[in-house]
Structure 1
Amino acid sequence: MSASTAVLRAELRLFLREPFSLFWIVAFPTVLLTILGLVPPFREPDPELGGLRVIDLYVPVNVLVAMLMAGVQTLPPVLSGYRERGILRRMSTTPVRPLSLLTAQIALHFAAVLGSALLVVAAGRIVFDVALPGHLPGYLVALLLGALSALAMGAVVTAVSPTIKATMVVGSVVFFPMMFFTGVWIPVQTMPDLMRTIVEYSPFGAASQALHQAAGGAWPDVVHLGVIAAWAAVLIAAAVRWFRWE
């Protein structure tokens, strides 16, 4: 077994011992969708939405909530904890590189996001009769790019925060505006034109639109995918530039 595989297995065991993190990533988005679906008007077709229901719009939104939870709320404290306790520094003196540990954490959080997305889509379909994504390849591309942006954003939060407490503060400061951009309080598709145009140039506003378009059966707009990819590239570059092992 390679060193990287051993690290991944060890991190998986530790990851599964964090029920609160797993709840917020995997279960909370589905719980939130269920609560929203209990609002009667949200289950009624809206002529202003082209016959769609508000609950139809909230399925992609809650997929994005899972990304935010993983990338901005749960991943940064783990990475900051490893750095603050000197684990990364000590690993640098062994054959196992700190990058192996970071890669394992990112892979585990990414897998949790995918599991959460599957659960949200399934709950929407089974409980509220929300149609399955009409353009599955486009939906997956938007989901993968959105998750990459969220995890890269979490890496930046870790990079600019010297301690675990600072990471939690910075993560919260980033988290709540991003919740607005995903459309949690107001679905992006129902925002006024000017506000929607502005929001669409954020990573999660663009991801919300891309997922919505793919759910409706169309390939996501190239502009929206380009915005998500550009944000991911910028955030990854910033994380690489600013991250410190100790």
Structure 2
Amino acid sequence: MRGLPKLAAVEAKLFLREGTTLVVGLALPIVLLVVFGSVPAMRQALPELGGSRIIDVYAPILVGLAVASLSLTVLPTGLATYRDKGVLRRLATTPVGPGSLLGAQLVVNLVATLLVVALLVGVAAIAFGVLPPRQVIGFALTLVLLVGSMFGVGLVIAAVAPTGRAANGIGMLCYFPMLFVAGLWTPGSTPDVVARIGEFTPLGAGVDALHSTWAGAWPAPLPLLVMAAYAVGLGVLAARLFRWE
């Protein structure tokens, strides 16, 4: 991919200039953490949570939200907009090629994801006493699989959406149900049926595995396999469906 570093630098500047991207992709998870952590009841240990606090349970969920925000809104909207405006088609006639722009988009979104996750873990620990993940290797593996599977969803959306606005709409249709089954709205008390469904979604499986790593345990095989299957399957599907124009 010729020109990838320069394209990535340009895409990073455009990323930072876009207000919606900054709010949804970067600020929202941190703001939610601060809001939730500022509520006294969220910082009280609860017997039904095994002595944990609600904010402790929310930390892994907010990591999942950060990954989902970038994967389902920012990534597909940007790629679909470029195709709709003919940017990818024009790049196809240059030595750089549209593949380099796709690579630059993935790099920028990956870096942004890792930055937000690092900020979440740091702010949660410093401001609210949430212990960092105790199973570090398991956390890293889970994060890789979660990003891979959720980026796969985003790439499929970008592949089928005719415009950037359509991509954003499809992304939102996936975003809120995924957050629901992952436990954002009912942390620690998700209904059994919803929790069972969530186990077989990439975000729900990822949050489940993240909870394990935060508790110091290695993630169970099922969520890892679910995320890996989505990452590979959706990656192949996106490659088959994606068109430069």
TM-score band w.r.t. shorter chain: over 0.9
- Structure 1 residue aligned with 2:13: 13
C-alpha distance in 1 between matches for 2:163 and 2:14? 21
Native 8 Å contact 1:22 1:112 kept in 2 = no
Native 8 Å contact 1:65 1:182 kept in 2 = no
- Structure 2 residue aligned with 1:102: 102
Deviations 1:73-127 (A, max 9, x none): 1111111111011111111111111111011101111111111011111111111
C-alpha distance in 1 between matches for 2:161 and 2:180? 23
- Structure 2 residue aligned with 1:228: 227
2:46 paired with 1:46: yes
Deviations 1:57-82 (A, max 9, x none): 11111111111110111111111111
Native 8 Å contact 2:181 2:194 kept in 1 = no
Helix, strand or coil at the partner of 1:190? coil
| Residue 232 of structure 1: how far off its partner (Å) | 1.3
- Divergent runs of 4+, >6 A: none
Q: Which runs of 5+ in 2 are unaligned?
A: none
Native 8 Å contact 1:29 1:63 kept in 2 = yes
Residue pairs, 1:19-34, within 5 angstroms:
19-34=19-34
- Structure 1 residue aligned with 2:4: 4
C-alpha distance in 2 between matches for 1:183 and 1:115? 23
Percent of pairs with identical residues: 41
**How does the TM-score come out when normalised to structure 1?**
0.94
- Structure 1 residue aligned with 2:87: 87
2:173 paired with 1:173: yes
C-alpha distance in 2 between matches for 1:12 and 1:191? 37
- 2:159 maps to a residue whose letter is A
**How does the TM-score come out when normalised to structure 2?**
0.95
Native 8 Å contact 1:160 1:243 kept in 2 = yes
- 1:173 maps to a residue whose letter is L
2:234 paired with 1:243: no
Helix, strand or coil at the partner of 1:130? coil
- Structure 1 residue aligned with 2:218: 219
- Structure 2 residue aligned with 1:68: 68
- Structure 2 residue aligned with 1:161: 161
- 1:155 maps to a residue whose letter is L
**Corresponding pairs, count:** 245
- 1:225 maps to a residue whose letter is L
- 1:32 maps to a residue whose letter is L
Deviations 1:133-168 (A, max 9, x none): 101111111111111112111111111111122112
RMSD: 1.6
- Out of 191-200 and 29-38, give the one that drifted further: 191-200
Deviations 1:170-220 (A, max 9, x none): 111111111112221012x43233332221111111111100000111111
Native 8 Å contact 1:157 1:170 kept in 2 = yes
Deviations 1:206-240 (A, max 9, x none): 11110000011111111111111111112112211
C-alpha distance in 2 between matches for 1:127 and 1:39? 13
